[in-house]
Amino acid sequence: MKVEVKFLTLVYELTRKLRVEIELPDNATLLDLIRKIDEEVYPGFSKVMLDCNSNVREKYLVLINGRSIDFLNGVNTRLADGDEVTFLPHCGVA
């Protein structure tokens, strides 16, 4: 299956890519995608995005088809062919 991945603002500054299409096996999860980004787009991406428990760090927001993974199944959310995954930093008051 293929998913479209977008890197916005500060995450774009890391990857130097705005949009990529990534091939994943069926039933892959968001965690699988993050590891694949390590291999194909930006080595060390998982170290930037994930904490020591393999959860997305609080300073980042990940959307799957416009929905925050906080309201899905986190990094264990299953992806489907054609999904759009967006990585961006959280915005808010410090």
Chain segment 8-17, per-residue pLDDT in tens: 999 999 999 9
SS3 label, residue 37: helix
| Cβ atoms of residues 56 and 5 within 8 Å | no
* The pLDDT of residue 92 is above 80: no
Residue type, 30: L
What are the structural domain ranges in the chain? 2-89
Tell me what the pLDDT averaged over the chain comes to.
Answer: 94
| Cβ atoms of residues 90 and 11 within 8 Å | no
Q: How many CB atoms lie within 10 A of CB 22?
A: 19
Whether domain 2-89 has CATH 3.30.420.40: the reply is no
Q: How many CB atoms lie within 10 A of CB 33?
A: 23
Place of tokens 């393999």: 54
This model's pTM is above 0.85? yes
